[in-house]
Structure 1
Amino acid sequence: MRILFLAGGSPATIFGLAPLATAARNAGHQVFLASTEEMMPVAAGAGLPGVPVTGRSIRDFMTTSRTGESLQWPEDPQEHIHFIGRGFGRMAADSLPALTELGRAWKADLVVGGMLCFAAPLAARHLGIPYVRQAWDTGEPPEVDGAAASVMGPELAELGLDRLPEHDLYVDICPPSLRPADAFDAQPMRYIPGNGQRALEPWMYVPGERRRILVTAGSRVSRHQYFDYVRELARKVGALGTELLVAVPDDVADELTEGLRHVRAGWMPLDVVAPTCDLVVHHAGGGTALSAMNAGVPQLLIPNMPKLVPPSRRLVDFGAALMVPDGEDSQDAVVAACEKILGDSSYRERSQALAAEIAGMPLPAQVVGALEDLVG
């Protein structure tokens, strides 16, 4: 069987699909992973054959209309969600011709698309093969689908459609206790942490004498993106006097943590480091949140995008985290929230309950059987 996977334009989307794609390869199937040109090194790092289907970046699609006009990120939370959907829709429209031609030339039997990879269902329809949609986090706003479709009129019309096609199977990695009430019926699959690796040092897998807090905003921190967010967050958490880990790319680590004490900063494989931590403080990104859940570690969430608030609330309601809204994250508020989590064992207990729930979900190797059944 030949399975064509389609990821988004960020490392997190590659890592989200890699466990199922790898399981399919290990089961003897042929697998290609399509994405943007700039994500090809990430695909190669995950050990997957990558094929670029657009030379443009996700940042470009978010800030440029289909007619070339520059777009500004909106401040209204609801419009922000639609804005993201339209950006992914433009990315899908640009990727669709190359993705379809790839599937036709390679004679793909099945298309598996990440949650916001809207070219996947259309390519599958063009090719007359099944389409599987896979979640890469704990939930995306349903409004995103309609927003994406609103900028894909020509692509939909070519297939005689007025909306995006339905999936033949939905694979969900969200723990059942955190699934939203309106979630699709799904084939559950255990979350397997994915991230870039490096040569390990003992401190990464052996905790020290101090309590350890990890601060991060994901893999895309640079001097132009999320830099000030992480620097301020590290400064606030640093006031606690614990051992501080700041997980960021190496090229910004020293500058970002200048003046802080008891700190280690740089690229850290979260699957290794997270289990050694007492608390993870972060931007509420889906991959980071799931990595902390998988490790059974409580979290302090400070969502830096409106779409991250609903899944954060579900994690808070479960008792495994606290949330400080963006804009209310003063040093006093962050320190107080950290102290509350560290001083109340129930947060650790609820986090470990989530880890046990994740461990009980079907492995990607088991879900490969559901893909085989679709093709027949």
Structure 2
Amino acid sequence: MRVLFVSRGSAAPVFGLVPLATAARNAGHEVLVTSTEDMVPVVTSVGLPVVPVSERSEEDYGVRGRDGTPLAFPERGAREQRLFAGGWYGRLAAGCLDGLRDLTCYWRPDLIVGGRLDYAAALLASSIGVPFARQAVDIGEWSEVDEGAAAELAPELARLGVDAVPGPDLAIEICPPSLRPAGAPETEYMRWRPGNTQRRVEPWMLTRGSRPRVVVTAGSRATPEQHVDYLRPLIEAVHGLGAEVLVAVPGALAEAVAPIAGRSRVGWIPLDVVAPTCDLFVHHAGGTTSFAAMDSGVPQLVVPEEDATFDLGRRMDAAGVAIALHPDDLTARSASDACRRLLQEPSYRVRAAEAAAEIRSMTPPSETVRRLEKLAG
């Protein structure tokens, strides 16, 4: 069968779809990935074929409306931020539809797979009449984001004769059942596997030293312009622990962070490779980062950058695998105190190990491909 994977325009959602796309390809199926033009190097770096369907970046859709009006992400309010994100991803979906339809004129898929917020996948599947599978790429449920997307996509939905973004024929969840909120819809579960870009593995990545090892990261989208001040108190906090510190950041940010990182290792570090040797992850509530830590049973300090994602950290906090610290409460002292608790109180490592065992018990991507085959008929 032909399977089209539709991803948004940033690295994390691409990484989230890689395991299932690779499994489908390994099972003998034809696979194509679509995203924005600037994501082409990211997709090719993980060994998958890609077709760009928008010359504009995801970031550009977030700062300009359809008519070119400048837009700004709300500074406060979880609901306001989620509704804005829905409009953002809705504009991105609308901007990709022409490219997607052009692709299906000469390469018609039997099945379309999209990430949880990749609304173009649902619209395309509905318009050409093929099944649609939706895969989660983090632990979010995002109903308010869906609401914002539906409002932005009103013209496209009207042309389809519907008033909401079409639901999936198959919903695939990667969040362990124990971490999902009460009342969450039924779904099929798939085991999280890493799909991030790699680099040359060095011996230090695979071995533990005499000190605790702590990873600090702001994710694959972090930039020098936006994230130096975010990382500063986190790096200062872990330096006070006497730990070995790994500052995992994209190359462009590494140089800007180096002056405050001291003797830490700084740069692009494949989290899935180093995670089994780590004692603590300190991060922004990113999906890839959260799962890399949980998969290896590593406790986490989660400091979301915005109100919209604080709920993700709060759910991990409630499950006992992390401490969530609101951005308003972030100081080097508060972060240091939280890190000490995570390193010293055994309950966090015990609960993180239980979450890792739960992840290992879930259906692997290779078996989920069989479910896709049935869906495609």
TM-score by length of structure 2 reads 0.97
| Structure 2 residue aligned with 1:61 | 61
What is the percentage of aligned positions where both structures have the same residue? 48
AA at the equivalent of 2:225: H
Match of 2:368 in 1: 367
Q: Which has the higher contact order (CA 8 A, sep 6+)?
A: 2
Tell me the SS of whatever aligns to 1:3: strand
CA contact 1:250–1:266 (8 Å) conserved in 2: yes
Q: Is the 8 A contact 2:233 2:335 kept in 1?
A: no
Paired letter, 1:320: V
| SS of corresponding position for 1:313 | helix
CA distance in 2, matches of 1:232, 1:249: 19
Query: Structure 1: which 5+ residue stretches go unaligned?
Result: none
* Correspondence for 1:48: 48
Q: Which runs of 4+ in 1 moved over 6 A?
A: none
Q: 1:267 to 1:205 in 2, by over 3 A?
A: same
**Deviations 1:132-164, CA, capped at 9 Å, x for gaps:** 111000114211111101011221111111111
* Deviation, structure 1 residue 211: 1.1
Map 1:158-173 onto structure 2 (within 5 A): 158-173=159-174
* Residue of structure 2 equivalent to 1:179: 180
Aligned residues: CA RMSD: 1.2
Task: Please state how far the C-alpha of 1:98 moved relative to its aligned partner.
Answer: 1.3
- Pairing of 1:110-129 with structure 2 (within 5 A): 110-129=111-130
Q: Which amino acid aligns with 1:263?
A: S
Assess, with a 3 A threshold, how the Cα gap between structure 1 residues 209 and 261 changes in structure 2: closer, same or farther.
farther
Partners of 1:252 and 1:128 lie apart in 2 by: 43
2:226 is paired with a residue whose SS is coil
Measured at CA, do residues 76 and 222 of structure 1 come closer, stay the same or move farther in structure 2, by a change above 3 Å? closer
Aligned residues: 376
8 Å Cα contact 1:13-1:136 kept in structure 2: yes
Matching residue of 2:220? 219
Q: Partner of 1:96 in structure 2?
A: 97
Show the counterpart of 1:278.
279
Where 1:174 maps in the other structure, the secondary structure is coil
Task: State the alpha-carbon separation in 2 of the partners of residues 146 and 119 from structure 1.
Answer: 15
Write the distance in 1 (CA, Å) between the matches of 2:67 and 2:185. Answer: 34
Give 2:333's aligned residue: 332
Partner residue in 1 for 2:26:
26
Q: What secondary structure does 2:178 align onto?
A: helix
Deviation at 1:261, TM superposition (A): 4.2
TM-score (norm 1): 0.97
**Residue 185 (structure 1) shift:** 1.6
In structure 1, what is the equivalent of residue 74 of structure 2? 74
Relative to structure 1, is the Cα distance of residues 72 and 185 closer, same or farther in structure 2, using a 3 angstrom cutoff? same
Pairwise CA distance, 1:260? 4.2
Does the 8 Å CA contact 2:316/2:324 hold for their aligned counterparts? Answer: no
Q: Verify the 8 A CA contact 1:170 1:184 in the aligned structure 2.
A: no
Letter in 2 for 1:198: R
Letter of the 1:314 partner, please give it.
R
Which residue is equivalent to 1:87?
88
- Matched with 1:10 is 10
Shift of 1:182: 3.4
Query: C-alpha deviations, 1:19-71, integer Å up to 9, x for none?
Result: 00000011111000000000011110111110011011111111111111001
Question: C-alpha distance in 1, partners of 2:104/2:179?
Answer: 35
CA distance in 2 between partners of 1:254 and 1:96 (Å): 37
Letter matched to residue 326 of structure 2:
P
Q: Could you tell me which amino acid in structure 1 is paired with residue 66 of structure 2?
A: R
**1:37 maps to which residue?**
37
